[in-house]
Structure 1
Amino acid sequence: MTHSPAAEHTPPTAVIAPPDLSVGAVGVPVLRALVDSVAPVLVVAGAEPRVRLHNQGARALFPALGDSDSFTARTVAPWLVRAQEQGLAAVDGAVRDRVFRATAQQLPGDCTGWLLTDVTAERAAVQRLSDERARTRFLVDASSKLLASLNQRRCLLVTAELAATKLADAAVLVTPDRGRRVAVTRMVRGGKAERLSLTVDIDQVPGLSEALAGFPPVPSRWISPDLAPDWLVPDGFGDLGSLVVTPLPGNGVPAGALILLRRTGQAGFDEDEELFARIFAARAGSAISAAVLYAERTETTSILQRALIPPPITRLEGIDLSSSYRPARSVDLIGGDFYDVHPPLRATGTGDEAAAGAGETLVMLGDVCGKGTGAAILTGKIRNTLAALRRLQPDHGELLQLLNATLLDEHDTQFVTLVLAGVLPVENGRLRLRLTSAGHPIPMIIRVDGTVEAAETRGTLIGAVPDTTSTTWTTLLQPGEACLLYSDGVTEARGGPTGREMFGDHRLRRTLAECTAMPVEAVVEHVALRTSQWLGGGEHDDIALLAIGAPRRGSHLSMVNGHGRGRYTG
């Protein structure tokens, strides 16, 4: 709206002469000059609705006053007539393209003087402030909804819904897809969103290829709606009147493009609306880009986890096995503890070495210094290295020396503790165990008579010093006996009454003594339960358990944890 200079600079106050105009010839010109010098003023007779006096500003605002002195909607504004009839003290109303505030002043002789002040600029400023507050509330709400999920599909749907509801009649999101295809998310206000994967020429939409490349948008007035291809306009939308194409900025790489559509008959997009669309698109692009990045990292993590988490342990011929793993942080699936079971290999050495390793199943359990993903990656390296080296060297001591040299060659400051168990079924259902510890907690043997025996093996940790030493201890497991391999997360678990006392070797021995004649699944479950009760929900290190058992005679398989040997039944 244009602003009248005359109305803008008129003073907001006026002095009205008494309605009795019977003054001398000199007084009338003075009174007229005084009235004409102030803002538009009308003096209205109360009993008879007619204009008794008006000034030059009033004649400019209401031209009909020059021909009639009636105070009606034909000569003045209808809203001013209603205000007079209702006895209002002040009222705002529009006259053509301007907004005025009329203030009533009671005058002698049952007259009312109306002072009109131009408040167009004030009302426009208030409206702009209100619009900005509404837009700010919308952006806050949009940010909350966009950041509520790290799912890319959900972010696209929320973006389309918000844009179609608040910014235009319809919204279209175009994001890169596989090859030359693009993913299109379309939504009409009040309708349902639709997702399409299309092979289209994006150059058909002016400014779209530039937006997808991250360039600033072109003004909407430069884009002819007649050039829009059919795939861009949702079914049932109607005739396209105007459109805006703006990029969806991402984290270094554009997340896509946002296209706003309005129907024919609607006002086109002005500069403020285009700017606001860019602000909204920036927030939406950041959320979409974060969702894409999260999806990529989740997929990468999932692939790593499948390769790094300890594998499921199943029963082998003549050997009962069961395991449990609990990472230090509940949000992680991987950590610094690991175990592996490798089936027997053909003898590749000579003499005592070949005899020692012939037909054995190699079981290992270790603990890498550190926690989380970094430690888990090192466990993967160690597991793969041991899997390869055992084919060359069946002797436990030599195998640990080779592993130690490999870790030192990589100049890795981390180290690992490890225990190896060579398991061989022998006559009468017994198992021969060769146990070798490399700085790791000593394996525990649960005998059939209820005693708990610590394996007599010691050794230096791996990856810390050039030369390692270790002793291998051999024993027999009778049917019904078991050997538990565990990480220091068990004995060093802090909890109890004080919350700081360690579980310790003595409590582990007592717990294992309660497991006499139990199947290996029950042994692992019982130790894990006792450790968890001791922790009481407190912080802890990675906890790994692996039990090796000689099957009891006369037992049969039943479901314990869904697999493995069940309870002894006869």
Structure 2
Amino acid sequence: MAGLDLSDTGFLLTDPRRDDHPIVYVNDPFLEMTGYAADEVLGRNCRFLQGEGTDPAAIDELRRAIADERPTTVEVLNYRKDGSPFWNQVYITPVRDGDGHVVHFIGLQIDVTARRAAVLQQRRSSFLADAGPLLDASLDPDSTLDSLTRMSVPFLGDVCIVEEIRHDEVRRLAATGTDRSAMREARPDDPVVRAVRSGRAEIVRTDRLLGRPATAIIAPLKARGTIRGAVVFASFSPGREYGAQDLVLAEDLALRAALAIDNARLYENLGAVAHSLQQGLLPERLPTLAGMDLAARYRPAGDGSLIGGDFYDVLPRRDGLDLVIGDVTGKGARAAALTAQVRHTLRTAAQYEDSPSRILDVVNRTLLAERGEGGGRYCTVAMARIELNGSAHATICCAGHPMPFVVRSGGDVEPVGKPGSVLGWVPDPKLLDVTFELGRQESLVLFTDGVTEARTTGDQYGLAGLQELLRAAAREDASGIATRVDRAAAHAGARRDDVAVLVARHVGNG
């Protein structure tokens, strides 16, 4: 077997017939790879190469292959005589005698540490390249925090958490792989407190953060000279050892995340900008159309500092008009971007599609096409197409949106349309067109769910309350009806959702 010493591959023979399956031959490359002398290896089971970081699953696979008398290949973390780790690609195969009995196992070993390091470095570079767009995909702070924690698991650990220090407490802002709502006293020896106050990342072994032993990298979130908190990447695996390259990667990601989070917070809190953007997402004025009386009202949730998700639009046509009202997910700049996209898609599709359901299907396909790993972008819409030719013949489609009401001239109030699917959720949404006639002095009232969730006397007045309000306003013009709905919302005080209402009253051709 002297020729085996000329290769770079470690080679050994074991004897499964002897007690504890010992090594009976090794070549020189094996000894050079492991740092042992031949007399320290021969007669021993191969397990002496295992250590704290050796994956039990890989060892189990080797044991099963030996028991099944079959070949197998694994990559396993082994340890040299001096305790230094190396990645070992191990191939074993049985050797049989003339009667088919296994008399030896051959083991081939290749040190693949350098190869794995190169692959890992490439993965780290790709991870950072992919992280930037994900972190910048949203101007909502919560979404940005969630993106940071989700993208980090399992690449950087079993758990990722983001925490901040406020009022002598450490508060958890986001987490993947553990409790999202933990809180504790901000003690000086707390590793998160230490990282925030020092501004330096560090690798720690701790059982305080997660209630069980873990190795963790803690990196401060620093942006524009201010440390906002810290991000923690933690591993429970004894085989995972964080090193200098992991620390550099964590610091780089934390810097990018901190800037993205800070940008999101700046955008979220610019009230004046929000108001300006909100106005730009609604029609500057409603068109004047013969035979139709139009009015709309919009009232943002809370103090109006965030861009809301409700919108409405009126699209004149040669033989009538399209009425649209909708509600997109989220608040702030993300909602503004989605609203602008939905309105633009609606306006474009309305020029060539012949029914509300087909127009809304175009919106649905557009939202699905742009869905990313950070989650979907959804909206609800109610759209009515009214054809004016002496009479007012209407077709309506509701995509996950509350069904509008028709206020009849005699005072009756009835819903029109059929329930349909939220847009951006499934590729084959349920979108149903329903036709009806809108008589003279009758009104179509489209609204968002903020209207029916408003509280006027401490209780939600809901659809029944809205119907009663509309019944009382049956003889009023479009502006009067819209004003009544808006005032009811104003009396509600603080609201959880925006309020939008669009009224179209058929007044004939006079």
> Which TM-score bucket, shorter chain as reference?
0.3 to 0.5
TM-score (norm 1): 0.40
The TM-score with structure 2 as length reference comes to 0.44
Q: Which structure: larger Rg? A: 1
Asked which structure has the greater RCO (Cα within 8 Å, sep 6+), the reply is 2
